[in-house]
């Protein structure tokens, strides 16, 4: 691909692709890095005659982002309770920090009231950042079963937390 065409593509799609990547990761630096890598791949691999260059850029950017997120997840393994404890130990001061710590403690207590498999699917999904499919594999159940279990667990968790607020 010609560098002039690449510059033109960057001017046309750079900002919107950056916004898309940023919504995926909520990390400005990571989104910028992935954007740069996406356009490097375009320089090396994208034929100028591709029928839908915009779709190609989005797909490559998305795939690079997912790969990076998986890589980061492997680098920083931590259990759900470790994550909650680490977050609770941060001292950013103020009333908001106290409220966030109290909410995390309330969620931890509510999770303990859930039946084992329901608790497990939520911990895998939200504290170990596994996809529902990965959680299902780890639990030895079907993806559909994990989806239903997760939905029921969230509803029950919501009821438990609402009940706790009324006391």
Per-residue pLDDT of the chain (167 residues; tens, 9 = 90+): 567 877 888 899 999 999 888 878 888 999 999 999 998 888 888 777 778 888 888 888 888 988 888 887 776 444 444 555 555 454 445 676 777 777 777 777 888 888 888 888 888 887 777 788 888 888 889 999 999 999 998 899 888 888 876 55
Hey, what are 5's tokens?
Answer: 């065409």
pLDDT of residue 78: 47
pLDDT of residue 1: 53
Together in a domain, 42 and 115: no
Together in a domain, 103 and 147: yes
pLDDT of residue 109: 81
The residue to which tokens 């998986």 are assigned? 70
Hey, what are 130's tokens?
Answer: 């596994």
Together in a domain, 63 and 98: no
* Residue closest to 121 by CA, chosen among 102, 103, 143, 105: 143
pLDDT of residue 162: 82
Cα separation, 81 vs 18, whole angstroms: 33
Q: What is the residue range of 139's domain?
A: 80-166
Overall pTM surpassing 0.75 (yes/no): no
Together in a domain, 98 and 146: yes
């Amino acid at each position: 691909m010609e560098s002039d065409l690449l510059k033109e593509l960057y001017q046309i799609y750079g900002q919107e692709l950056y916004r898309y990547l940023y919504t995926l990761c909520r990390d400005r630096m990571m989104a910028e890095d992935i954007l740069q890598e996406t356009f490097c791949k375009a320089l090396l691999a994208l034929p100028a005659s591709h029928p839908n260059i915009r779709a190609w850029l989005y797909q490559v950017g998305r795939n690079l982002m997912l790969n990076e997120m998986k890589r980061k997840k492997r680098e920083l393994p931590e259990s759900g309770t470790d994550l909650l404890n680490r977050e609770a130990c941060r001292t950013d001061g103020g009333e908001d920090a106290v409220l966030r710590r109290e909410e995390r403690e309330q969620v931890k207590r509510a999770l303990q009231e859930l039946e084992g498999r329901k608790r497990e699917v939520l911990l895998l999904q939200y504290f170990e950042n596994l996809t529902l499919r990965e959680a299902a594999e780890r639990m030895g159940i079907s993806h559909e079963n994990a989806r239903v279990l997760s939905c029921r667990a969230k509803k029950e968790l919501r009821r438990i937390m609402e009940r706790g607020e009324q006391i």
